[in-house]
C-alpha cells in the first residue's frame, strides 16, 4: 500500500493501478501524515516560538521581516512553519509539548521564559534568536550593545549630554514607568539589556552620570507607547536634548509626542530609534539598521542545515548606523551654529 503511493518502482504498474483503484473505491484518503511522521521521525515542519501573542508577530514590522526571512528558508527546504501559540500571560507550556516539529526557532523571548525552557527540553535542534548565547544551541543575533554604543557616540559627538531613554519591556512583568539601574542590569530581554548597556557605557565615558538618566519602560510595543514614554521623560526633565528609543516604533511615537508639544525634530529635540523599519526610513529617522529578514533566513538555514554540526554555532549579523534627519546638535549647540542665522 505504502509502496503504491511512494515507491512506484517497487511494484508492477499493473498492481499499482489495481491497489490505487480499490483504494479510491474504498474512499481511502491517502496516507495519514501523522502516522507517517511517527514512523519516519520527520514532521516536515519547524516551530516558531514567540513570546508575544501570536497576532503580535503580524503587527510589529521587525517581526514581520523576521518571519518573512524564516519563511523564505523554510520554503527553500520545503518544510512547513508552525506558529506555536505561547501566551505569555499563562505559564502553560503544553503548546510547546504538543508541537509536532523537527526543530524550533525561538525569537526574542525573555531568558526566563518557561516556554523557552520547555523548548530546550525537547530533543530537537533549536536556534535562538536575539537571545544570549546558551552554549548548547545555535544562535543568531546582532551586536546590540556595540550598535547602540556607536549610535550613542554619534549623539555625544553632536554634543548631547542631557538625554532620556524609552525602551521596550525588560521583563515578563508589566512595569510602565521609570527603570532603576538595577532593573536595567537584570533585564531578562537580552536585546534590551544590551542596548541599554551600550548606551550606559558610551554616556558614562562621556562623563554623564548614567544613574541620573531618565529611562522609561513600556510593556506594549507600539507607537502609543513611544508617545507616552516620551511624554513621561519630558515631564520629568523638559531639558533633555535627545530622546533615545530602543526601537523605531517607539521612536516614531516619540516624534508624535514631540510634535504635540510643539518641539521640532531635530531643531528642538533629537529622536533616535533602532531597527531600520520602512516607516522610520520614510520619516528620516536616525537609527541602527539591522537585517531582520536576513536574521530570519539565517535562523532557518541554521536549523535546516543537516550538515554535521560540531558545536553550537553562533552567528552575528552586521548592523549599520543610519544618520537621518532626526538627529542634530542640541539647541544652540555646535552643529546648530554651522547652519543657524
Q: What are the residues binding a second copy (CB under 8 A)? A: 29-38, 43-45, 47, 53-55, 57-59, 64-65, 67-69, 71-72, 74-75, 78-85, 87, 94-95, 97-100, 121-123
Give the nearer residue to a second copy in terms of CB position, either 18 or 97. 97
Give the nearer residue to a second copy in terms of CB position, either 95 or 314. 95
Q: Which among a second copy, DNA, none contacts residue 53 (Cβ within 5 to 8 A by kind)? A: a second copy
Give the nearer residue to a second copy in terms of CB position, either 48 or 233. 48
Q: Which among a second copy, DNA, none contacts residue 1 (Cβ within 5 to 8 A by kind)? A: DNA
C-alpha cell at 283: 520619516
C-alpha torsion 123→128→132→134, nearest 10: 20
**2 binds DNA per the rule CB under 7 A:** yes
Give the span between the Cα atoms of 104 and 84, in whole angstroms: 10
Please state, as a whole number, how many other Cβ atoms lie within 10 Å of the Cβ of residue 214.
19
Please state, as a whole number, how many other Cβ atoms lie within 10 Å of the Cβ of residue 221.
21
The closest alpha carbon to 331, from 258, 237, 263, 235, belongs to: 263
Give the nearer residue to DNA in terms of CB position, either 33 or 340. 33
Q: Which among a second copy, DNA, none contacts residue 162 (Cβ within 5 to 8 A by kind)? A: none
Give the nearer residue to a second copy in terms of CB position, either 137 or 196. 137
Give the span between the Cα atoms of 202 and 59, in whole angstroms: 32
Give the span between the Cα atoms of 46 and 260, in whole angstroms: 45
Q: Which among DNA, a second copy, none contacts residue 14 (Cβ within 5 to 8 A by kind)? A: DNA
Smallest separation (angstroms) from a second copy to the CB of 289 = 18
Buried b / exposed e over 313-333, threshold 16 CB at 10 Å, is: eebeeebebbebebbbbbeeb
Give the nearer residue to DNA in terms of CB position, either 6 or 239. 6
Smallest separation (angstroms) from a second copy to the CB of 235 = 29
**306 binds DNA per the rule CB under 7 A:** no
> How many residues sit in the footprint of DNA (CB under 7 A)?
20
Smallest separation (angstroms) from DNA to the CB of 56 = 30
String marking each residue 12-41 x if it binds DNA according to CB under 7 A: x-xx------------x-xxx--xx-xxxx
Residues forming beta bridges with residue 107, ordered by sequence position:
50, 129
Pairing of strands 287-289, 320-322: antiparallel
Question: To 10 degrees, what angle do helices 292-304 and 61-77 make?
Answer: 30
C-alpha cell at 340: 543657524
Q: Which among DNA, a second copy, none contacts residue 136 (Cβ within 5 to 8 A by kind)? A: none
Element (H, E) at 151: helix 144-158
Give the nearer residue to a second copy in terms of CB position, either 200 or 277. 277
**94 binds DNA per the rule CB under 7 A:** no
Do the beta carbons of residue 271 and residue 265 sit within 8 Å?
yes
Contacting positions for DNA (CB under 7 A): 1-3, 5-6, 10-12, 14-15, 28, 30-32, 35-36, 38-41
Amino acid at each position: 500500500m505504502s509502496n503504491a503511493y511512494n515507491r512506484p518502482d517497487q511494484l508492477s504498474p499493473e498492481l499499482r493501478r489495481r491497489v490505487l483503484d480499490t483504494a479510491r473505491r474504498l474512499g481511502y484518503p491517502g496516507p495519514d501524515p501523522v502516522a507517517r511522521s511517527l514512523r519516519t521521525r520527520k514532521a516536515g515542519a519547524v516551530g516558531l516560538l514567540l513570546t508575544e501573542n501570536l497576532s503580535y508577530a503580524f503587527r510589529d514590522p521587525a517581526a514581520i521581516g523576521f518571519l518573512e526571512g524564516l519563511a523564505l528558508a523554510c520554503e527553500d527546504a520545503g518544510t512547513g512553519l508552525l506558529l506555536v501559540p505561547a501566551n505569555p500571560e499563562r505559564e502553560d507550556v503544553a503548546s510547546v509539548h504538543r508541537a509536532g516539529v523537527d526543530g524550533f526557532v525561538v525569537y526574542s523571548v525573555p531568558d526566563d521564559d518557561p516556554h523557552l525552557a520547555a523548548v530546550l527540553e525537547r530533543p530537537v535542534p533549536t536556534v535562538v534568536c536575539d537571545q544570549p548565547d546558551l552554549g548548547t544551541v545555535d544562535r543568531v543575533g546582532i551586536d546590540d550593545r556595540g550598535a547602540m554604543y556607536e549610535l550613542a557616540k554619534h549623539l555625544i559627538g553632536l554634543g548631547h549630554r542631557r538625554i532620556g531613554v524609552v525602551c521596550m519591556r525588560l521583563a515578563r512583568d508589566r512595569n510602565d514607568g521609570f527603570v532603576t539601574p538595577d532593573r536595567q542590569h537584570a533585564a531578562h530581554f537580552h536585546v534590551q539589556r544590551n542596548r541599554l548597556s551600550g548606551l550606559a557605557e558610551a554616556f558614562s565615558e562621556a562623563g554623564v552620570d548614567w544613574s541620573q538618566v531618565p529611562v522609561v519602560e513600556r510593556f506594549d510595543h507600539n507607537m502609543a507607547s513611544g508617545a507616552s514614554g516620551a511624554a513621561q521623560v519630558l515631564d520629568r526633565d523638559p531639558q533633555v536634548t535627545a530622546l533615545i528609543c530602543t526601537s523605531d516604533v517607539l521612536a516614531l511615537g516619540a516624534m508624535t509626542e514631540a510634535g504635540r508639544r510643539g518641539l521640532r525634530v531635530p531643531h528642538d529635540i533629537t529622536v533616535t530609534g533602532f531597527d531600520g523599519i520602512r516607516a522610520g526610513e520614510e520619516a528620516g529617522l536616525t537609527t541602527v539598521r539591522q537585517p531582520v529578514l536576513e536574521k530570519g533566513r539565517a535562523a532557518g538555514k541554521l536549523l535546516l542545515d543537516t550538515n554535521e554540526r560540531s558545536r553550537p554555532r553562533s552567528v552575528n549579523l552586521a548592523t549599520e548606523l543610519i544618520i537621518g534627519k532626526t538627529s542634530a546638535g542640541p539647541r544652540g549647540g555646535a552643529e546648530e551654529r554651522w547652519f543657524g542665522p
